[in-house]
Structure 1
Amino acid sequence: MKLSFAKRACTCAVAALSLFGFGGCGSSQQSGTITWLSARPASEGSIKAIKQIANEYAKSHQGFKLEFQNISDRPSYNQKLKVLASSNRLPELWDADPDPYFAKLVKDGRAEDIGKLYKDIGVTNRFYHISTKYPTMADGSLHLMTFNANAEYFWYNKDAFRKAGIAEEPKTFDELLTDLQKLKDTGVIPIALDGKDQWPFYRFLGMIPYRETGNEFLAKLKVGKESMASPTGQAGIAFLQKMSAYFQPGFTNSDATATLNLFKSKRAAITYDGTWNLPSYVDDSGNLKSDIGYFRLPMLGKGDKTAPTDFFANSGIGTAVSKGKLTPQLKDFLKYLFGKYGDVALNDYRVIPSVKPKGSVKTPRIYQDVLSDIAKVNDYAQVWDVQLDANTVSVLGRQCQSLLVDNTSTHEFAANVDKAIAQYNKAK
């Protein structure tokens, strides 16, 4: 297979591409090389599993090479993706969320039909339900491959709970807030938060609305049929404010690594994240460390629209195939990849995969429990930073930070977010 970019006149956009490591005019791909622009870090288990399988495939397919370009900083990644898309220089494979920007690329004919691809290579029924449901577009079409099946939990330090006199994991939001105060009274940081990346803000903001309405509030909010000024919206804002009283000092500038270190060093009693960080919570044998526990999204305790088994679960960022670049060789490799990925990812790299393993599951109990939880999710909570457009998410992030340092009122917060959504819908 020979893959090449079409020659074209140099433009400012192409010049910009060179800054990101892509060649200028007339550049071409190596024969047999498939480029994957990835938003995942190279150290992530899913990437290691894919590389291992690609290396095995290359041994029997002369000239084949899979080349990753990893940009784990999401703003930088999103910028690069937009530059490449605007100048028609997208590589064979590229990561994307099923967000409004990706929906536009699909509408413009930039991504292959993954539902058809799965059917053609015979892997449709191999995926966990969440791994095909999460990336499905509003019209029911599927244009993203997925490699993870993630669940999000509150992870906690058992010793900190004992010292605070907390005998049971909180079942309701009121119980959670009560427990956080007990923890704070012992002198420990109640909950460590990755404020720099902002996504945890959106989770806490959406927890009450999700339990009250399922995904209905968010679905109506993004099309302007609901408001952050409504009782449900204000309840979400109020919960985020209450939670912020228990975050670590300087949480708005704390990144994922710093947040994880606070929890692992036991300076913080709780952290909220997903099973993508599970390797940090297990011992050398892959078992959950004895001093760590976890619990799912709490309930309202009264008037819940969703079940206790429904919570934030997703398949992580997906991967698109550029339209017109799904060659027979690429299709053959993807068939090979999905045939092995479930077992390699789960058993060799402790990754919760999108694909069900073919062989026996050799992983420890915690992984099997997570897979069981994911299988039981009927109505997963959709995430705000994927459902809302990029500009609204940017406004939302600024408003969250400003709200939590007392520079914005709840009504100003609501008005600014509603305004951003209205502007987006008007411009569509």
Structure 2
Amino acid sequence: MLVTAAPMLTACGGDDSGSGGKVTIEWMNIATTEPSQSLFPKIAKAYEAQHPNVDIKATSLENDAYKSKMTALVASGDLPDIYVTWGGGVLKQQIDAGLVKDITSDGAKVLGTMTDVSKKAYTFDGKTYAVPYDMGMVGFWYNKKLFKDAGVSGPPKTWTEFMDAVQKLQGADITPIALAGKDKWPGHYYWAYLAMRIGGMQAMQQAAQSNDFGGTAFIQAGEKLKQLADLKPFQEGYQNAGYDTPGGHSASMGAGKTAMSLMGQWAPAVMKDASGKDLGEDLGWFPFPTVEGGPGAVTDVFGGGNGHAVSKDAPPEAVDFLTFLMNEQNEREFVTSGAFMPVVKGAESALTDENRKMVAEALKGSTGFQLYLDQAFPPAVGAEVNDSVALLIAGKKSAQEVAQTVTKVAKDQ
């Protein structure tokens, strides 16, 4: 069950914690779909019940609207007390601007319960600036029934097998892939993963150090993605499709109209919420295939998680609330909801779904980890990655042009 108002669940000492007096905490998140749309408010109310002096004012925005809002808020220098972050270069830019609170000490109680990998994207120079609440990786979610109908024997292990599967699905009059072309960010997953498989983690590390995306791995990644796009494997109208909108990426996958979706650990819950249907045992998962001849291993993973950062002027109650949010019972509720992957040590025991267990095992056994490129680098670079890859998929930009424009923006930062 969800946390109650029992005193034993108070995070840091109950009403005596923090600054005293009436306190308002502004919390901006991305809880626009179930189960977080219901879970977050319930947990906030439970905290308020134990802390009558605290009023939590939450604002929930869809991903792209959230990113746009945050860009404006960062420019103004006035951030919410608590806000969602994916870490990496975006968070680092906010830290360098003096907008984020170092919670290494104040948040030690809750951070001490977290797995090391879940904190990695939020830690700089030995200091931690956010509390994770979800952690996972991107992989292919697929419809087993549609694979069987098309004569695809099982999850492809190589890029050649993947391309063969796409063509078999098309031959059976089945749309192979769901893609939110309007939102752009889902498309960059292909480019990033292909570059990782072709050049290995070394290619990603060199790009991060030199801000140069002109290497062979990135050029070839663009070329292979272009070959995929030329097959026209995406659902009709994908260019105007949103990720979690009616009739969009997740809805088409959840309704059984497309066979595959390259997406993160949250995908099944969003599919169900967007389509109103549950694929049940027909839903499967497999890691991004290897590319023949490339040093990138299937155990090199691409992804990230969600965390909450605290603005520099936030009251002490903000960190206290995040400690409460991620206590043992709430973490178990998150994990069993089907939308979140464990970040608290030992919470993986709450996983019951076989697909989510596969994701957890893949992450646990990973030999390399790359944060989403639109978060690993400063915002301008991430935006250019998403825009350029979208143009590549649409046939309006070459692989070389993508590499050149992303490199130019990266070097200008």
Q: TM class, shorter-chain normalised?
A: 0.7 to 0.9
Aligned residue type for 2:388: Q
Match of 1:78 in 2: 67
For 1:324 and 1:407, how far apart are their aligned partners in 2?
A: 45
1:197·1:256 contact (CA, 8 Å) conserved in 2? yes
> Which one of the candidate residues 214, 232, 235 is aligned to 2:217?
232
Identify which range, 212-221 or 202-211, moves more after superposition.
212-221
Query: Cα distance 1:261–1:50, how it changes in 2: closer, same or farther (>3 A)?
Result: closer
Q: Tell me by how many angstroms 1:214 deviates.
A: 3.5
Q: Tell me by how many angstroms 1:282 deviates.
A: 7.5
Aligned residue type for 1:278: P
For 2:32 and 2:256, how far apart are their aligned partners in 1?
A: 28
Identify which range, 76-85 or 261-270, moves more after superposition.
76-85
> Which one of the candidate residues 328, 334, 337 is aligned to 2:325?
337
TM-score by length of 2: 0.83
After superposition, the C-alpha distances for 1:260-292 in whole angstroms (9 at most, x for unaligned) are 222223221111112212225679xx9971222
Identify which range, 272-281 or 42-51, moves more after superposition.
42-51
For 1:87 and 1:59, how far apart are their aligned partners in 2?
A: 33
Match of 2:196 in 1: 210
Identify unmatched segments of 5+ residues in structure 1. 2-29
Moved over 6 A (4+): none
Aligned residue type for 1:297: F
Identify which range, 375-384 or 342-351, moves more after superposition.
342-351
Q: Give 1 or 2 for the bigger CA radius of gyration.
A: 1
Identify unmatched segments of 5+ residues in structure 2. 1-14, 16-20
Paired residue total:
386
- Residue 254, structure 1, aligned to residue 241, structure 2: yes
Q: Tell me by how many angstroms 1:362 deviates.
A: 7.0
Q: Tell me by how many angstroms 1:207 deviates.
A: 1.6
Match of 1:413 in 2: 402
Q: Tell me by how many angstroms 1:383 deviates.
A: 1.7
Match of 1:32 in 2: 23
1:130·1:313 contact (CA, 8 Å) conserved in 2? no
Aligned residue type for 2:104: G
Match of 1:401 in 2: 390
Match of 2:5 in 1: none
2:82·2:311 contact (CA, 8 Å) conserved in 1? yes
Match of 1:175 in 2: 161
For 1:256 and 1:225, how far apart are their aligned partners in 2?
A: 29
For 1:113 and 1:240, how far apart are their aligned partners in 2?
A: 40
For 2:252 and 2:74, how far apart are their aligned partners in 1?
A: 39
Identity over aligned residues, as a percent?
23
Correspondence 1:138-149 to 2 at 5 A? 139-149=125-135
SS in 1 for 2:309: strand
After superposition, the C-alpha distances for 1:202-258 in whole angstroms (9 at most, x for unaligned) are 111112221234333233324545333x32121110121122122223322221131
- Residue 347, structure 1, aligned to residue 336, structure 2: yes
For 1:394 and 1:351, how far apart are their aligned partners in 2?
A: 26
Match of 2:141 in 1: 155
- Residue 219, structure 1, aligned to residue 205, structure 2: yes
Considering only aligned residues, what root-mean-square deviation do their CA atoms show, in Å?
Answer: 2.9
Match of 2:255 in 1: 265
Match of 1:24 in 2: none
Q: Tell me by how many angstroms 1:126 deviates.
A: 1.9
Aligned residue type for 2:22: S
Query: Cα distance 1:412–1:151, how it changes in 2: closer, same or farther (>3 A)?
Result: closer
For 1:265 and 1:334, how far apart are their aligned partners in 2?
A: 36
Query: Cα distance 1:147–1:290, how it changes in 2: closer, same or farther (>3 A)?
Result: same
TM-score by length of 1: 0.80
For 1:248 and 1:358, how far apart are their aligned partners in 2?
A: 37
